[in-house]
Amino acid sequence: MRDLDIGQFNELIEESQDLQVDAMRAAQQPLDDIVEAGLERRAGKDYQEQTREQQHRSRSLPLAGAGVALGAAGLLAASASPAFADANADIMALQTAASLENLAVLTYKTALTLPYLQAKSTPIKTVAAFATITMGQHAEHAKAFNARTKALGGKQQTGTNPKYTPVVTGMIPALKKGGPLDVVALAITLEDVATSTYVKNIQDVTDAQVRVLFGTIAGVESQHLATLYAVQALLKGGGASLITVKATGGPTNAAKLPAAAGGVGFPEAFKKTDLASPASEGAVA
């Protein structure tokens, strides 16, 4: 693709790890503020005054990578009427997010045991490397969501999402008989659900700082989704040999990428939230 300008496909995995590190570092201050805000609310502090203070603090917080646009959108919406009635709804949203992250970890862990993802060919090695790195990132996200849930007085969510877990477990027999395309399709569904959920949560949660958290992590999930769309397109189009990075066989020959390579990873100009999980879906009492 002559106009391909996405950091080159051969650096997507490396950029994913960099984005993850930057996003989690940038989220640390907002995460600390979430705890402070929750404690203040439980102490009876006036909500409107608290929200104004949170908005003021949020303007100076850094956001990382693809999370910038999503986090900024959340901050612009901070003055809108909250869709959730109280802090308990924010805790439920964090618990549901953790359940989605836990399921993603389980899915990638299961996929990596499949014989065809243990092959030595370059395309498969690249897909397996992506799965391994992404699995670790999802584990970090779940840990962050759970840590703040506990600090806010909620129960940590260590289980997997109750709606989508049966979908994943039900597909395992088919995955064993299938191939990489089946794994990629399932991963796309889960990453799409997570991204959609976090983007919607930016609009719905009460605390401005929680919006920053969801916006930052949504940026990382969006990058996962874009990579998977690109891999899926290459597998379907007979371009498996182009699925490679420097660490698994050398840089991709960008000149050989199909014309659609520049846009296939970004099918939506603005992320739709039709697949978003409601806050109560993965909540625990």
pLDDT of residue 34: 53
Give the start-to-end residue ranges of the domains of the chain: 9-262
Contacts 24+ apart (CB under 8 A), 177-181: 179/116, 180/116, 180/117, 180/123, 180/124, 180/127, 180/235, 181/232, 181/235, 181/236
pLDDT digits (tens, 9 = 90+) for 249-282: 666 666 666 666 667 777 787 889 999 999 999 9
- 144-163 tens-digit pLDDT: 899 888 878 899 999 999 99
CATH number of 9-262: 1.20.1260.10
- Ranked by mean pLDDT, which of 29-38, 74-83, 157-166, 202-211 comes out on top? 157-166
pLDDT for position 276: 96
Global confidence as pTM: 0.71
Quickly state the pLDDT bin for 126 (edges 50, 70, 90).
confident
Closest CA relative to residue 123, chosen from 201, 81, 183, 64 = 183
Residues 10-21 have pLDDT tens digits of 555 565 666 566
Tell me the pLDDT band of 69, cut-offs 50, 70 and 90.
Answer: very low
Q: Provide the pLDDT for residue 199.
A: 95
49 pLDDT more than 90: no
Give the C-alpha separation, 99 to 202, whole Å: 18
Q: Please give the average per-residue pLDDT across 226-251, as a whole number.
A: 72
The mean per-residue pLDDT over the stretch 209-222 comes to 87
- CA-based nearest residue to 141, from 221, 37, 66: 221
